[in-house]
Structure 1
Amino acid sequence: MIGICLLLYSVAAWTYLYVYVSPATRASLMDVFQPDYQQTYTFRSRISANLYSLLDFDYTTYNEEDNSFPLSRKEINLLYRVEKDGQLLASNTDASLASPDALPEGYNFLLIWDGSKASIWKDGQAVDVYGDGFFRGVEEDWDVPGYSNSASSSNPAYAELTVSLAAAAKPFNPGDDYGLYGMVQEFAQARVLIIWLLLVPPVAGVALLVWSIVWHKHKVRADQAIAWFTGHIWLELKLLLLVPLTFLWVLAASCTLNLFFNQFFGGPLRYLSIPLALWWSYLHINDLRYNFGHLRNSSFCTSCARLLGRQEMGWSVGQRMDRRSVLQFILCIPFFLYCALQLPLLNQYFSLPMMVLLAAAGAGLIAAQVWLLRENRRTTADMDRLLTRIRSVGGDATTPLPEDSDLRAAAEELDQMEDKLKAALSQQMKSEKLKLELITNVSHDLKTPLTSIISYTELLRQEEELPAHVKDYILVLYQKALRLQTMVLDVFDVSKAATGNLPVNLRPLDFAKLLRQTLADLDEDIQASGLSLRPALPEEPVWILADGDRLYRVFQNLIGNALKYSLAGSRVYLTLTTADGRAEATVQNTSRDELPYGVDFTERFVRGDQSRTDGGSGLGLSIARTFTEACNGSFAIRTQADLFTASVSFPLTDTRPEPEVDA
C-alpha cells in the first residue's frame, strides 16, 4: 500500500513538473545534475546578466568605493575587465583577459565583448555563440548582444565598451562573497532536495511494490515445505482422511446456508468447520499439486511391493515364479475359509446333497490349485536349467531336460544354435589367421627384393653420365620403392600386432616429455606445412607405463596425419590432460576435405578421401591404434563435421624408472 501511495505521489509530482512548471525552471532543476557547472543554463543566465550589467552601468561617476557597481571586486571566481577606447574603466584583476592564453591559472572560461559581438572560449576552444544569428530564447542560447533580431544590438553605448569576463574552472569559497561558488553550493543542496522529493519516492514505491510481489515467493516456498511434509504421509491414510473431510464439508455447507438465511446454527464452534474445511482441503490440493506425480512413492502397499521386489533380486527366475504361485494360492485361502465358515448357514437353505456337491467342488478347486502349483514349479525348474545353459554358452555342458518338459524344444534349438555359432566362429578365426599369415609371409618375402631395388636405384642415382630424363625416371622409381617399402613395413607391423607377436617393452616414461620430443623431431615438417601447432602440455612429469618407441610412432603418425590433411592455414591442437587416474593426449585438427560419416578410420587401408593421391597408405591410424592397444592404452577417434579428434589415454602409474648407475 505504501508503495502504491509513493508511486501515485511520484506520478503527480512529475506530472506537475512537466505540465505546470516553465521550461526555464525545469532547465534550472536539471542543472543540478550537470557535473560541469559552466554547461548549465543557470551559468549562462548568470554570465549574460553580468555582461548586461557591465554594459548598462554608468561609468561617468564610478569610483572604487561605489557600492552600486553590479559586480564585486572580491568575487575572485568571476574576473571582469571593462575598457573604453583603450582606457580601463573597471576591473577586479591585473590580468589583461585579452585572449584565452592570457587567462590566469585555474580559469578556463572567457567571454569578450568587443563592441559589436561576443566571443566565448572554454578550455581554450571557441564556442559557437550566435549559431545562425537569431536569438530564440531556448535554454542552449547565449543571451548576449549581437543577434540579428536583438534590440540591444543597436544600443550605441555598447559599441564603445570592451568587456571581458573570466570564470574559474572550479569555484572555491572566497570568504564573504559567494558568487559562482554560492551557485555551485546551491546546485549541491538542490540536488539532494530533488533526489529526495522526485527520485527517491518512485524508486522506493517500485521497490516496495516489487517486494510485495516477490513476497509471494515465500508463500510458494511455504507450500513446497508443506507438500514435502504431506508427501511423507502414506497414500492410504490420505484417502482415509477424505472420509471425515467429506462430512466436514457437509457441516460447513450447512453452517454457510444457515448464515445466508440469517439463522444461527448450533454453537460457534460449529462455524469453525468452514475455515477448518478450507485449510484441510488446501492441504489435500497442495499435496496433489506438488506430489501428484509420485503419490505411489508414499504408498504403504507400494513400499511392501518394493521390499518384496528387492528381495526377489537375489532369486532366480524359477524361484520368483514359484513364490508368486505360492502367493497366488495363499491369497485364495481366505476365500476358501470364508466359504467353509458359511457352510452351517447354507445348511438352513440347501439340502444335504447340495452341500456335499458344494464341498466337493471346493475340494476339487483346491486340488486343482495344488496340481497347477506343482506343474508351475516343474516349469520354473526347467527354466532355471535353461537359463544356466544360456549363461554357460561356450562350455561343453548340455541341457538335460525331461522328454515331457515344456522347454524341451527350446533347449534343443539352443544346442543347435550354439553348434552353428561355434562352427561359424571357428571358420572365421581360421580365415583371419590364414589372412594374417599370408600378409605376414608376403610382407616378409617382399622386404628382400625391395631392399635390392632400393640399393640399385641408389647406385643408379650416383651415375653422372646418364641423360636428365633417365635420372628423372630413376628418381621416381626410387621414391615409389621407398613408399612401397614403408607400406610393407607397416603391414608387417600391423600383422605382427594382430597375431600378438609384436614385441613391446613396457616401462615408466614421462608422457609429456615424449610428446615434446616428438614435436621437436617433427619441427621441420611443422614449419613446412604452413599450419599453426598449439601444444598444451603440463610442465610436471606425467608418468605412464608404455613402450617409448611404439608410442613415439603413434604420435608421429597422428601429428603427421594432421599436418598432411588439415585445412590450409588452420591450427592443430595437441593437449595432454590428467583426470580420474588417467592421462589423455589429444590431437585435434580441421580437415581439408569433408569427412565421411560412419567410417572407421582405424581400419586398415581406410582413408578419409578415396580420391587422394598424396601417397598415403591408409595404415597410419591403424598402426596408431594397434600400437596403443599393444601398450595397454586406449585409442579413440571422434569426428564432428570437419573437426577430427584423435585421443590416446593410459592409466597413470606410481612406478618410476630406475636411476642410471655410472659404470
Structure 2
Amino acid sequence: MDTKWKKSRAAAGFLAFLLGISMLLEGALYFGTALTSSGSRRWISDSFQADWRDTTEFQGFISARLVQLITMGAGGDVFGDINGYDGGDWGLRDTKVRSLHNVMKEDLNILYRVEREGKELYSNSDTLTSSTTAAQLPDGYGFLLQFDGAKVRAWRDGVELDIYGDGYYRYQNIDEPYQWYVPGYKNFTIDEAGSKVRVTMAVIDEPHIFIRGDYGNSGAKEYNELYYLKQNLQIYRETILAHAACMGVGGALFLVYILLRKDKQRADRLLARGTGRIWFEAKLVLAFLLVFFCMPRTQYLGDVWQDLVYSDTPQSTASGSTSAATYDPETGEWASVEPVYEYDYSFEQAIGIGTAVTTLSENHGWLLREYLPQLADHAPGLLAVLWGLYLLIINDWRYNKKPWRHGVLGMLAARELSRPIQKQMSRLAGLTGLTFGALGLVAGYLFLVIVSNEGWPDPLWWYFLVLGPCMSALLLLVWALGRQKNIWTDLGALANHTARLRAGEMDRPLDLPPDHGLYQLADDLNHIQQGLHQAVEERTRSERMKVELVTNVSHDLKTPLTSILSYTELLAQEPLNPPASEYVAILEEKAHRLRAMVQDVFEVSKAATGQLPVKLERLDLGRLLRQTLADMDQAIQNSGLALRPSIPDEGIPITADSDRLYRVFQNLLSNALAYSLPGSRVYLTLTVEGEQARAIVQNTSAAELKPGVDYTARFVRGDESRTDGGSGLGLSIADSFTQACGGVLEITTEADLFTATVIFPLAR
C-alpha cells in the first residue's frame, strides 16, 4: 500500500508540474501577445466595459458609418467597407452610392436618414427625421446621433454625450483612437459639400442578425457588422477570463508541484530510465524534428525579417528604377509619373552579420511583437517542443550521466567496455553507424532541396525514390547494430562470469537461451562452476567441523578443569610437607595455565564462527590505551623493560567494543613483555593519519624472527624453543577481536624489530 501511495504521489507531482507549467506558459503567451499590441489592449479594455456602447470599437464603428453616410449625401466616392460591396467599378458614382445604400439598409441594427438641403436622399426608417429626439426613438433603440452639417450630437439612453471635449482631436497612435472620429473639431473641419448634409442615426440596444435572401443574384446575404462587434467583445471577454482561469489553475497546480517536488523526482528518474534506452543521436534528431515541425514556420520569420530589412533599405539600393513624365495636350502641362522600381534583391547576399546585428539591436521589440502572436497561435506545438526537450535533453542529462555514451559516439569511445573483443566490435559498429548517419543527413538535405525547388518533379515521387531507400537502410542498420550489441554484451557477460569464477563467486550461473551462439561455452562454464562450488562446500564443511570440534572440546574441558582447580585449591589449604606441597603448587599453576589456554581456544573458535558478541560504541582510543597501561603497570615493572608511550592528550574517537579492544592491546603488550630482548625498550605510539587512528606497538625480539611467518595464525610462536607455557593464540585472538570491532591488525618484522599496528577509522 505504501508503494502504491508513493507511485501515486510521484505521478501527481509530475502531472501538476506538466499541467501547471503548460497552463502558465499558454496564458503568459496569450497575455503577452495581447499586451504588446495596441489593438489588443484596446479590445481588452473594451470587452470589460459595462455598456458595450462605451467602447472605442463602438465609437470607431459609428464614426466610420457616419463618415460614410456624409460622403454618400455629399456625392463623394465611397469604398466597399460594408459586407456585400466589393469596391469594384460599378459604373457611375451615383450607382455605386445607391448600391451601397441597398446593402446598408438591410441592417436594421442601425436606422439612418440622410438629407441634403432639406431633401431626403437615403433612409431605412419611416419614423426617423432630422428633428427626432432621444425620447422619440423607436422601442429598443437607445442611442441617437445627429449631424447638422457642422457638428455632431449624440445621446445614449437620453443622456447627451460629450463628443468634442476641449474641441481638438487627438490620438495616441493610428491604431488606438480615444475620441470620436467625426467632423466638428477645431482641427477637423468639413468641406462645403459635406456642410449641406444632415444625418440622423439610431442604434439598437441589443443587435440582431438580419438576413436577406438575394436568390435571384448571389444567394442569401447577412449585414450584421454591429451584431458581430458586440458578440466579439463578449467572446473576447470570455476568452480573457478563460485564460486567466487557466493561469489560476496553472498556478495552483504549480503550488501542488512545489509541495510534491521530491515525489516528482521519482517520476523524473523513471522517465530518465526510459529515455536512457534511446540512442543519444536519436534523441538529438527527435529534438530537432520537434523544433522544426512544431515551432512557427521558419519562412514566416524570414518574411518578417525581410520586411524589416527592406523597410530599412534606401531606395538607391534598388536597381532598374525608372521615372517618367507625360505631356497632357489638353492642359499643355507635363505630369510626373511615380517611379517604378524593379528590385533585383538577393536576400542572402544583402544581409551580412553586421547588418543582422544592427537590425536586431534596433528592432528587437518590433520582431518580438511580430513573433509573439505566432507563438501564441502555435501554443500546442510550443508546449510539445518544451516538454520534448525537457524529456529528451534536460531530464535525460540530469539523471543519465554522460548520455552520449549510449549511441554511436559511445560505440566509438567504448569506454564502458573492458574486454578487447568488445571494444573492437563496438568501434566497428560505431563506424558503420556514423557512415550511415552521414548518408542519411546528406539524403535528407538533398530531399529538402529537391522538394523546395518548384521546378523539380512531384515531391512524393522523390520521397519514394530518395528517402525511401535511405530510411530502409537506416532501419536495417539499427537492426544490425542491435544484434551486434547483443553479441558483445553477451561476450562481456561471459568474460565477467569467468572473472567471478576466478574470484571465487560460485552462486550465480550464466543463463543463455539454447539457440544462442555462446550457449555451449556458457554451459561448460556452468558445469565447471558447479564442480568448483561442490569442492568449496566440501572444504568449508571440513573447516566448520574442525572449528566445531575445537569449540566442543573446549567447552567439555571446562567442567573437569573446574573440578581440578577446586580440589587443587583445597589441597593447597592442607598442611602438607615437602615435596607434596611443592607438587600441589605446580599442579595449581599448570591448572590455571590450562584454563587460560582453554578459554583462549574457546574465544578463537567463537570468533572464527562469527558468534563472538560485540558491543560497538564510541570511545576514546587514547584513554583506552592509558587505562590498559595502568592495569598492566605491575607486569611492566616486573619485566625489566623500559616502556616508551606516546599518546596525544586530545581525544581520538573511534567506534569499537571497549572490552574486546582492551584484550587486543593487553595481548599485544603481554607478547612484547614476554618476548623482548632483556633490558630493551618497548614503544607504544598513537597517531592520526588522514581519517585513520593508528596504534603501534614495537619491540626488539630476543629470538631471531623468521621472515614470511604469519604470527596471527593459531598456535604460532615466535620462539619455538621456549617452554614458558604460551599457547600461541595471543596474536590470533588480537587479530580476531580487532576484525570483529571493525579494525585491522598488521604485523610486520624487520630483522629483530617486531611491529604490531592496530588501525581504526575515526568516528564521525
- Measured against the shorter chain, the TM-score band is 0.3 to 0.5
Q: Could you state the TM-score of these two structures normalised by the residue count of structure 1? A: 0.43
Structure with bigger RCO (C-alpha 8 Å, 6+ apart): 2
Q: Could you state the TM-score of these two structures normalised by the residue count of structure 2? A: 0.38
